[in-house]
Structure 1
Amino acid sequence: MTAPAEDIRTAPEPLLVELLTLAHRRLSTGLSAALAEEDCTVDQWRVLRALADGRGHPMGELAQTLLIPQASLSRLVDALADHGWVYRRQGDQDRRRITAHLSRQGRTRLTRLDALAAAHDASVRRACGGLTDPGQLLRRLAAL
Protein backbone atom coordinates (compact mmCIF):
# COMPACT_ATOMS: atom_id res chain seq x y z
CA MET A 1 0.00 0.00 0.00
CA THR A 2 1.32 3.42 -0.89
CA ALA A 3 1.00 6.51 1.22
CA PRO A 4 -1.52 9.06 -0.06
CA ALA A 5 -0.02 12.02 -1.86
CA GLU A 6 0.24 15.12 0.27
CA ASP A 7 -2.61 17.51 -0.27
CA ILE A 8 -0.76 20.74 -0.95
CA ARG A 9 -3.04 23.68 -1.43
CA THR A 10 -2.24 27.20 -2.34
CA ALA A 11 -3.93 30.10 -0.65
CA PRO A 12 -7.05 31.11 -2.50
CA GLU A 13 -7.06 34.36 -4.45
CA PRO A 14 -8.33 37.07 -2.07
CA LEU A 15 -11.92 38.10 -2.58
CA LEU A 16 -12.73 41.71 -3.37
CA VAL A 17 -14.23 42.20 0.10
CA GLU A 18 -10.96 41.01 1.68
CA LEU A 19 -8.88 43.38 -0.43
CA LEU A 20 -11.21 46.28 0.29
CA THR A 21 -11.20 45.55 4.02
CA LEU A 22 -7.41 45.39 4.19
CA ALA A 23 -7.02 48.51 2.02
CA HIS A 24 -9.55 50.40 4.15
CA ARG A 25 -7.81 49.43 7.37
CA ARG A 26 -4.38 50.40 6.05
CA LEU A 27 -5.64 53.74 4.75
CA SER A 28 -7.65 54.50 7.88
CA THR A 29 -4.77 53.65 10.19
CA GLY A 30 -2.43 56.01 8.34
CA LEU A 31 -5.01 58.79 8.13
CA SER A 32 -5.89 58.34 11.78
CA ALA A 33 -2.25 58.78 12.75
CA ALA A 34 -1.96 61.90 10.58
CA LEU A 35 -5.11 63.49 12.02
CA ALA A 36 -4.06 62.62 15.57
CA GLU A 37 -1.43 65.37 15.20
CA GLU A 38 -4.37 67.78 15.45
CA ASP A 39 -6.19 65.72 18.10
CA CYS A 40 -8.87 64.69 15.62
CA THR A 41 -10.42 61.36 14.64
CA VAL A 42 -11.22 60.25 11.11
CA ASP A 43 -14.96 60.41 11.83
CA GLN A 44 -14.69 63.93 13.26
CA TRP A 45 -12.85 65.02 10.11
CA ARG A 46 -15.51 63.37 7.94
CA VAL A 47 -18.25 65.27 9.77
CA LEU A 48 -16.42 68.58 9.32
CA ARG A 49 -15.94 67.85 5.60
CA ALA A 50 -19.61 66.98 5.16
CA LEU A 51 -20.59 70.30 6.76
CA ALA A 52 -18.12 72.33 4.67
CA ASP A 53 -20.71 73.01 1.95
CA GLY A 54 -22.29 75.62 4.25
CA ARG A 55 -25.86 74.34 3.79
CA GLY A 56 -26.35 72.79 7.23
CA HIS A 57 -27.44 69.18 7.42
CA PRO A 58 -30.11 67.42 9.47
CA MET A 59 -28.57 64.90 11.83
CA GLY A 60 -30.42 61.95 10.27
CA GLU A 61 -29.25 62.88 6.77
CA LEU A 62 -25.69 63.31 8.01
CA ALA A 63 -25.77 59.90 9.72
CA GLN A 64 -27.00 58.27 6.51
CA THR A 65 -24.51 60.06 4.28
CA LEU A 66 -21.52 59.25 6.48
CA LEU A 67 -22.72 55.73 7.42
CA ILE A 68 -22.37 56.53 11.10
CA PRO A 69 -25.05 55.35 13.55
CA GLN A 70 -27.16 58.30 14.68
CA ALA A 71 -26.24 57.90 18.37
CA SER A 72 -22.53 57.89 17.49
CA LEU A 73 -22.98 60.89 15.22
CA SER A 74 -24.73 62.79 18.01
CA ARG A 75 -21.75 62.16 20.31
CA LEU A 76 -19.34 63.26 17.56
CA VAL A 77 -21.28 66.46 16.91
CA ASP A 78 -21.52 67.10 20.68
CA ALA A 79 -17.72 66.89 20.97
CA LEU A 80 -17.21 69.11 17.90
CA ALA A 81 -19.72 71.63 19.27
CA ASP A 82 -17.98 71.64 22.67
CA HIS A 83 -14.82 72.80 20.86
CA GLY A 84 -16.73 75.42 18.88
CA TRP A 85 -16.11 73.79 15.49
CA VAL A 86 -19.75 73.09 14.70
CA TYR A 87 -23.06 74.40 15.95
CA ARG A 88 -26.64 73.22 15.81
CA ARG A 89 -29.62 75.21 14.67
CA GLN A 90 -33.31 74.49 15.17
CA GLY A 91 -35.57 74.69 12.13
CA ASP A 92 -37.67 77.83 11.76
CA GLN A 93 -40.86 75.95 10.90
CA ASP A 94 -40.21 72.67 12.72
CA ARG A 95 -38.35 73.23 16.00
CA ARG A 96 -37.68 69.48 16.22
CA ARG A 97 -35.60 69.61 13.04
CA ILE A 98 -31.99 70.21 14.05
CA THR A 99 -29.31 70.98 11.51
CA ALA A 100 -25.55 70.91 12.08
CA HIS A 101 -23.34 73.65 10.65
CA LEU A 102 -19.61 74.28 10.40
CA SER A 103 -18.45 77.32 12.37
CA ARG A 104 -15.70 79.73 11.30
CA GLN A 105 -13.36 78.04 13.78
CA GLY A 106 -14.37 74.70 12.31
CA ARG A 107 -13.56 75.90 8.80
CA THR A 108 -10.09 76.99 9.95
CA ARG A 109 -9.56 73.66 11.66
CA LEU A 110 -10.78 71.79 8.59
CA THR A 111 -8.23 73.60 6.43
CA ARG A 112 -5.42 72.25 8.65
CA LEU A 113 -6.95 68.76 8.77
CA ASP A 114 -7.44 68.65 5.00
CA ALA A 115 -3.77 69.55 4.52
CA LEU A 116 -2.76 66.58 6.71
CA ALA A 117 -5.18 64.30 4.86
CA ALA A 118 -3.89 65.50 1.48
CA ALA A 119 -0.29 64.81 2.53
CA HIS A 120 -1.32 61.30 3.62
CA ASP A 121 -3.17 60.77 0.35
CA ALA A 122 -0.14 61.88 -1.70
CA SER A 123 2.08 59.51 0.27
CA VAL A 124 -0.27 56.59 -0.37
CA ARG A 125 -0.47 57.41 -4.07
CA ARG A 126 3.34 57.47 -4.30
CA ALA A 127 3.53 54.13 -2.49
CA CYS A 128 1.09 52.67 -5.03
CA GLY A 129 3.33 53.76 -7.89
CA GLY A 130 0.62 55.21 -10.09
CA LEU A 131 -1.32 51.98 -10.47
CA THR A 132 -4.64 52.40 -12.23
CA ASP A 133 -5.92 48.81 -12.40
CA PRO A 134 -8.36 48.51 -9.46
CA GLY A 135 -7.29 44.95 -8.61
CA GLN A 136 -3.59 45.83 -8.57
CA LEU A 137 -4.29 49.02 -6.65
CA LEU A 138 -6.28 47.18 -3.96
CA ARG A 139 -3.58 44.51 -3.66
CA ARG A 140 -0.93 47.21 -3.24
CA LEU A 141 -3.03 49.12 -0.70
CA ALA A 142 -3.76 45.93 1.22
CA ALA A 143 -0.04 45.18 1.40
CA LEU A 144 1.09 48.64 2.61
Structure 2
Amino acid sequence: MPFIKIYIHLVFSTKNRIPFLNTAELRVKVWKHIKENAAEKGIYVDMVNGFSDHCHCLISLGSNQNIEKIVQLIKGESSFWINKNQLIWEKFAWQDEYLAVSVSESMLEPVRNYIRNQEVHHTKQTFTEEYLKFKEKYNFE
Protein backbone atom coordinates (compact mmCIF):
# COMPACT_ATOMS: atom_id res chain seq x y z
CA MET A 1 0.00 0.00 0.00
CA PRO A 2 1.48 3.39 -0.95
CA PHE A 3 1.77 6.17 1.60
CA ILE A 4 0.95 9.47 -0.09
CA LYS A 5 0.35 13.00 1.20
CA ILE A 6 -0.20 15.49 -1.57
CA TYR A 7 -2.27 18.44 -0.43
CA ILE A 8 -3.81 20.82 -2.93
CA HIS A 9 -5.46 24.20 -2.28
CA LEU A 10 -8.22 24.41 -4.87
CA VAL A 11 -10.11 27.63 -5.66
CA PHE A 12 -12.99 28.01 -8.09
CA SER A 13 -15.73 30.57 -8.63
CA THR A 14 -19.35 30.65 -9.61
CA LYS A 15 -20.12 31.19 -13.29
CA ASN A 16 -19.35 34.82 -14.17
CA ARG A 17 -18.66 35.33 -10.45
CA ILE A 18 -22.35 35.80 -9.77
CA PRO A 19 -22.90 35.80 -5.97
CA PHE A 20 -25.29 32.81 -6.07
CA LEU A 21 -24.18 31.61 -2.62
CA ASN A 22 -25.37 34.81 -0.96
CA THR A 23 -26.34 33.55 2.50
CA ALA A 24 -24.28 31.86 5.19
CA GLU A 25 -27.02 29.21 5.55
CA LEU A 26 -26.81 28.30 1.86
CA ARG A 27 -23.01 28.20 1.92
CA VAL A 28 -23.02 25.87 4.93
CA LYS A 29 -25.35 23.48 3.06
CA VAL A 30 -23.23 23.54 -0.09
CA TRP A 31 -19.89 23.14 1.71
CA LYS A 32 -21.29 20.28 3.80
CA HIS A 33 -22.60 18.57 0.68
CA ILE A 34 -19.29 18.98 -1.16
CA LYS A 35 -17.38 17.40 1.72
CA GLU A 36 -19.85 14.52 2.21
CA ASN A 37 -20.20 13.75 -1.49
CA ALA A 38 -16.44 13.86 -1.99
CA ALA A 39 -15.98 11.37 0.86
CA GLU A 40 -18.48 9.02 -0.80
CA LYS A 41 -16.33 9.15 -3.95
CA GLY A 42 -13.08 8.51 -2.07
CA ILE A 43 -11.93 12.14 -2.28
CA TYR A 44 -10.45 13.50 0.93
CA VAL A 45 -11.55 17.10 1.49
CA ASP A 46 -9.74 18.36 4.57
CA MET A 47 -11.52 21.71 4.56
CA VAL A 48 -14.04 23.56 2.42
CA ASN A 49 -15.32 27.11 2.72
CA GLY A 50 -15.75 30.19 0.60
CA PHE A 51 -17.93 33.17 0.00
CA SER A 52 -20.90 34.17 -2.14
CA ASP A 53 -19.07 33.77 -5.44
CA HIS A 54 -16.35 31.17 -4.87
CA CYS A 55 -15.15 28.07 -3.05
CA HIS A 56 -11.86 27.01 -1.45
CA CYS A 57 -11.07 23.34 -0.84
CA LEU A 58 -8.04 21.80 0.81
CA ILE A 59 -7.85 18.31 -0.63
CA SER A 60 -5.44 15.41 -0.42
CA LEU A 61 -4.86 13.37 -3.55
CA GLY A 62 -5.02 9.59 -3.40
CA SER A 63 -2.68 7.36 -5.37
CA ASN A 64 -5.12 6.94 -8.27
CA GLN A 65 -6.48 10.50 -8.35
CA ASN A 66 -5.61 13.54 -10.40
CA ILE A 67 -6.61 17.16 -9.96
CA GLU A 68 -8.64 17.46 -13.15
CA LYS A 69 -10.86 14.49 -12.29
CA ILE A 70 -11.37 15.59 -8.69
CA VAL A 71 -12.29 19.13 -9.75
CA GLN A 72 -14.71 17.75 -12.33
CA LEU A 73 -16.38 15.51 -9.72
CA ILE A 74 -16.62 18.21 -7.05
CA LYS A 75 -17.83 21.01 -9.31
CA GLY A 76 -20.06 18.93 -11.57
CA GLU A 77 -21.86 17.04 -8.85
CA SER A 78 -22.32 20.07 -6.60
CA SER A 79 -23.80 22.10 -9.49
CA PHE A 80 -26.18 19.25 -10.27
CA TRP A 81 -27.16 18.95 -6.57
CA ILE A 82 -27.75 22.70 -6.15
CA ASN A 83 -29.97 22.80 -9.26
CA LYS A 84 -31.81 19.56 -8.45
CA ASN A 85 -32.67 20.86 -5.00
CA GLN A 86 -33.52 24.34 -6.32
CA LEU A 87 -31.34 26.03 -3.73
CA ILE A 88 -31.05 29.23 -5.75
CA TRP A 89 -33.38 31.26 -7.94
CA GLU A 90 -31.74 30.51 -11.31
CA LYS A 91 -29.58 27.86 -12.95
CA PHE A 92 -26.38 27.46 -10.96
CA ALA A 93 -22.98 26.74 -12.47
CA TRP A 94 -19.33 26.97 -11.52
CA GLN A 95 -16.82 28.79 -13.76
CA ASP A 96 -14.77 26.45 -15.96
CA GLU A 97 -11.41 27.72 -14.76
CA TYR A 98 -9.93 26.97 -11.37
CA LEU A 99 -6.70 27.46 -9.49
CA ALA A 100 -4.86 24.61 -7.76
CA VAL A 101 -1.58 24.86 -5.86
CA SER A 102 0.33 22.36 -3.76
CA VAL A 103 0.54 22.87 -0.02
CA SER A 104 3.49 21.66 2.04
CA GLU A 105 2.96 19.92 5.35
CA SER A 106 4.34 22.95 7.21
CA MET A 107 1.76 25.24 5.60
CA LEU A 108 -1.35 23.13 6.23
CA GLU A 109 -2.48 25.02 9.32
CA PRO A 110 -2.07 28.52 7.78
CA VAL A 111 -4.01 27.37 4.70
CA ARG A 112 -6.73 25.84 6.89
CA ASN A 113 -7.00 29.13 8.80
CA TYR A 114 -7.15 31.09 5.56
CA ILE A 115 -9.96 28.89 4.25
CA ARG A 116 -11.75 28.89 7.60
CA ASN A 117 -11.78 32.70 7.76
CA GLN A 118 -13.22 33.47 4.32
CA GLU A 119 -16.17 35.46 5.67
CA VAL A 120 -13.86 37.88 7.52
CA HIS A 121 -11.29 37.92 4.72
CA HIS A 122 -13.86 39.07 2.17
CA THR A 123 -14.95 42.05 4.21
CA LYS A 124 -11.54 43.48 3.23
CA GLN A 125 -10.91 42.07 -0.23
CA THR A 126 -13.03 40.97 -3.20
CA PHE A 127 -12.66 37.57 -4.79
CA THR A 128 -11.28 39.19 -7.95
CA GLU A 129 -8.53 40.88 -5.90
CA GLU A 130 -7.83 37.62 -4.07
CA TYR A 131 -7.68 35.65 -7.31
CA LEU A 132 -5.29 38.12 -8.94
CA LYS A 133 -3.01 37.98 -5.88
CA PHE A 134 -3.02 34.16 -6.02
CA LYS A 135 -2.12 34.24 -9.71
CA GLU A 136 0.71 36.69 -9.05
CA LYS A 137 2.00 34.88 -5.94
CA TYR A 138 2.20 31.52 -7.75
CA ASN A 139 3.44 33.00 -11.05
CA PHE A 140 0.41 32.06 -13.13
CA GLU A 141 0.14 34.09 -16.29
Structure-2-length-normalised TM-score? 0.24
Q: Per residue, is there more strand in 1 or in 2?
A: 2
Structure-1-length-normalised TM-score? 0.24
